[in-house]
Structure 1
Amino acid sequence: MKVLNLQCTHQHSFEGWFASEDDFQNQLSRGMIECPMCADKSVQKLPSAPRLNLGGHPSGQDLADQGKQASSSRAVALSSAQGSHDVAAVTGAPSGRSPAEQAAFLKALRHVMAHTEDVGGRFAEEARRMHYGEQEARSIRGQTSAREAVELIEEGIDVMPLPLPAAVKDTLQ
């Protein structure tokens, strides 16, 4: 089993597990590999060094600092998503983030996916119905145009653009 460090053209880094180098090249040539953050199929293999266990462990402070960084990123993403009843999904994802930040971002997206109803292209209509009391309030997500999202905000309806990679709908490993 080969574990490869991969990166898309938007500089999102991720891991891929393959039976062999040939398996990686075969899947890449058939367009079967895509970035879990933005679904970009233009992926390249990064140079990597083998992992050597030399008995050294990160200090307790290093682990605590890593945990604080990951949880603060997660808290920002979740509080924004949970603070609103309406969530508009648009394409795109933050680039240039560390692997820990990308992982926190994906975890927050999975939380939103698990706790909201996908109303698809009916997002603006559903958000208005809930806002004006025509329908019971619930957490929703869906797609709408940027112009429609601005109109919802101008009406006083809380919406939040949410970068939602296509891969989040599937099980990510």
Structure 2
Amino acid sequence: MIRYSLKCKDGHGFESWFQSADAFDALVAKGMISCAICGSDAVEKALMAPKVDTKRPLTAPTSDAETKLAALRKKIESEATYVGGRFTDEARKLHETKVDKPIYGEANAQQIKGLLDDGVPIAPLPFLPKSKAN
């Protein structure tokens, strides 16, 4: 079932439930939907906002995988230094000086290839830095 906000040619607004989007289209094409206020059969979908569940924050994990990913992110952000766009230079410097210091940041495909070709051990992270996420 799907609920649509509807309006007629005179601007009257009302809502109705339909079996599916196709069912709505078929009923409109047959002139079987009319305005609940004036009876006009010139009815179309009105702009609608999706229903959002406000019982839980959108940022809360909803599955075991999301919980584990959130824990990984927290661990990396608490134990490693964010170096942003300087990642390539910092990773290369740490590799050359044999310093064991965890860092994370951004690099493009060409920079990543260069680091891997030079034997610098790096791994992609399964999330964007908070500064890049909406």
| Cα offsets for 1:43-73 (capped at 9, x unmatched) | xxxxxxxxxxxxxxxxxxxxxxxxxxxxxxx
Q: 1:101 to 1:116 in 2, by over 3 A?
A: same
Structure 2 residue matching 1:16: 3-state secondary structure: coil
Name the structure with the higher helix share. Answer: 1
Q: For the Cα contact (< 8 Å) 2:84–2:106, is it kept in 1?
A: yes
**Match for residue 56 of structure 2?**
16
1:158, distance to aligned residue in structure 2 (A): 0.5
1:151 is aligned to 114
The structure with higher relative contact order (CA 8 Å, sep 6+) is: 1
| Larger Rg belongs to | 2
CA contact (8 A) 1:109 1:168 kept: no
Aligned length: 81
* SS of the residue 2:121 aligns to: coil
Match for residue 102 of structure 2 among 133, 136, 139: 139
Gapped regions of structure 1 (runs ≥ 5): 6-14, 18-34, 38-97
Aligned letter for 1:110? Answer: K
Displacement of 1:143:
0.6
Q: 1:121 to 1:169 in 2, by over 3 A?
A: closer
Task: Identify the residue that residue 68 of structure 2 maps to in structure 1.
Answer: 104
**Amino acid across the alignment from 2:119:** G
Q: Which runs of 4+ in 1 moved over 6 A?
A: none
Call closer, same or farther: CA 1:129–1:165 in 2, change over 3 Å. Answer: closer
The one-letter code matched in structure 2 to 1:121 is G
Following TM superposition, by how much is the alpha carbon of 1:105 offset from its aligned partner in structure 2, in angstroms? 1.1
